[in-house]
Amino acid sequence: MSLWIPITLAAAAVQTLRFMLQKRLKGAGLSVGGATFSRFLFGAPLAALAAAVTLAATGAAFPPLTVTFWAFALAGGVAQVAATYMTVALFGLRNFAVGVAFTKTETVQVAVFSALLLGEAVSLPGWAAIAVGLMGVVLLSRQKGAAWGGLMSRATLYGVAAGGLFGLSAIGYRGATLELAPAAFFTRAVVTLACVTFAQSLGMAAWLAWREPGELGRVAAAWRRTIWVGVTGMLGSLAWFTAFSLQNAAYVRAVGQVEIVFTLLASALVFRERLTAREGAGITLVIGSVVALVLLLR
């Protein structure tokens, strides 16, 4: 099995844990922006430490950070912040497992972005597997009695938008890690992560200070709960960045759909949320697409 596959599976598992922790932050009196900021605030120093330790342990020189690198990194960082914000907001609109599933339209969007922006096309069998996953997402997004079967509901629109933004962030991070070549893949991943999380923390802190006075203090006061969001966010991002340094972002995100399996377990076991048979069928299609991609790319 290619190294990027288990790394992607680990990233999906840790990301599910982070989403669970962020959902619980609603009980800590934080706004959507505050809960989103907590993901970056404590992750930034950890990412910087990881980069310093990696460079010291390997004896590698700090790779040059070109204008192109910063363009990819900052574009990815802004898109990720916006996508995370929308995902946290989404949790208040719909079942936890189905809410996260809405964002999985990202797989199709990132495949298109990857071809247009990085020139990394997806094969025909790859598109077929991604299409199966998208069918599962459409099933998960349908709501009885709503217009267009719920496909035009606010929750669905939030999820699709978040998926597109997550897709753009994946392309940005893939492009940034490629720009640091010929450094080793893990060095490229951890340095990119450190730069991105530092910029995200500064940007979000400025935004909250301007738009939500007092929220920075509430995030800091809730540090015993928010710090774990930062830790899991940093670990999950490090795994994603490492996978992006090794493989086409479209394939990484497609395999990352296995996150819905972990989310389903969290939904049932932690939040005691029940899923319908239709939602179960949608999740089965998503899982099937992931399995097909793993077999195709192994």
Give CA–CA dist 237/44, Å, rounded: 11
* Vertex 103 angle, CA 276 and 186, to 5°: 125
The 3-state secondary structure of the chain, one letter per residue:
CCCHHHHHHHHHHHHHHHHHHHHHHHHHCCCHHHHHHHHHHCHHHHHHHHHHHHHHHHCCCCCCCCHHHHHHHHHHHHHHHHHHHHHHHHCCCCCHHHHHHHHHHHHHHHHHHHHHHHCCCCCHHHHHHHHHHHHHHHHHHCCCCCHHHHCCCHHHHHHHHHHHHHHHHHHHHHHHHHHCCCCCHHHHHHHHHHHHHHHHHHHHHHHHHHHCCCHHHHHHHCHHHHHHHHHHHHHHHHHHHHHHHHCCHHHHHHHHHHHHHHHHHHHHHCCCCCCCHHHHHHHHHHHHHHHHHHHHHC
**Taking the domains of the chain in order of start, what are their residue ranges?**
4-297
| Residue 87 CA neighbour count, 13 Å, CB half | 32
Q: What is the reported pLDDT for 78? A: 94
Give CA–CA dist 206/197, Å, rounded: 14
Q: Select from 242, 264, 105, 107 the least CA-distant residue to 186.
A: 242
Quote the crossing angle between the two packed helices 154-179 and 185-211, to the nearest 10°: 130
Q: What is the reported pLDDT for 147? A: 47
Give me the residues of the chain with pLDDT under 70, please: 1, 22-28, 91-102, 104, 140-153, 271-273, 298
Give CA–CA dist 165/147, Å, rounded: 25
Identify whether the C-beta of residue 155 lies closer than 8 Å to the C-beta of residue 86: no
Alpha-carbon torsion, ordered 238, 242, 243, 246, to 10 deg: 170
Q: Is 51 exposed, middle or buried (0-12, 13-18, 19+ CB in 10 A)?
A: buried
Q: What is the reported pLDDT for 152? A: 57
